[in-house]
Amino acid sequence: MSLETAIILAHGAGQGMDSPFMSYFHTELQKRGFHCVKFNFEYMDEKRRVPDPQPKLQARYRAVIEDVLKQHRLKRLIIGGKSMGGRVASYVVADFPEVSGLIFLGYPLHPPGKQDQLRDPHLYGLPVPMLFISGTKDAFAEKALLERVVRKIGANATLNWIEGGDHSLKTRRGDTQSLATALDAIVRWIEGI
């Protein structure tokens, strides 16, 4: 694949862009020929533990997208991220007609143990294909609830389960095969959109 496709992946709430999880996807997607961009939200750069409010997170993500679009001539731009990073991407995607798709690495559908507080209404009107990669044991996305959301989104949504995976897609065995499985699913999905 040429560098015609750029992928911006944002980190989750607890770890920044240089975490092993983010570094794995950044490095491996680069090896597959994609131009990958990672960044830190401001609170992470400032070494604060609590994420910024959504408007500030979204402003930062928008600035990164604008910067990538200015610097590169792209055939396709895919955005997304891990947990909170993917959620922020889903709030800004409609502002950029240049974006071809959204990747969610563990979408935080609800707070753990609070399945009645779903974070899904905005997903149904999004204009791009979406890839959800989720662990079957993710405390932030109860399996039946996420399946229902994906069915309701319809043809625009693809769901890949990591059997036994948690919110970071890790299985109890602690092997890295789950991340490789997720990586293969991303590459297949991008080739199909």
DSSP 8-class letter at 114: -
Residues 6+ apart with CB under 8 A from 25: 9, 36, 105, 179, 182, 183, 186
Confidence of residue 174 (pLDDT cuts 50, 70, 90): low
Residues 98-110 have pLDDT tens digits of 999 999 999 999 9
Three-state SS sequence of 17-67: CCCHHHHHHHHHHHHCCCEEEEECCHHHHCCCCCCCCHHHHHHHHHHHHHH
Residues 61-112 have pLDDT tens digits of 999 999 999 998 899 999 999 999 999 999 999 999 999 999 999 999 999 9
Residues 105-162 have pLDDT tens digits of 999 999 999 999 999 999 999 999 999 999 999 999 999 999 999 999 999 999 999 9
104 strand-pairing partners = 81, 132
CA distances from 122 to 73, 79, 109, 118, 187 (A): 29, 16, 12, 11, 26
Residue (of 179, 162, 5) closest to 79 by Cα position: 5
Domain extent listing, the chain: 5-192
Q: What is the pLDDT of residue 3?
A: 52
Placement of tokens 């600035």 in the chain: 63
Q: Domain 5-192's class?
A: alpha beta
pTM: 0.96
Q: How many residues are listed for the chain in this entry?
A: 193
Does residue 2 carry a pLDDT above 50?
Answer: no
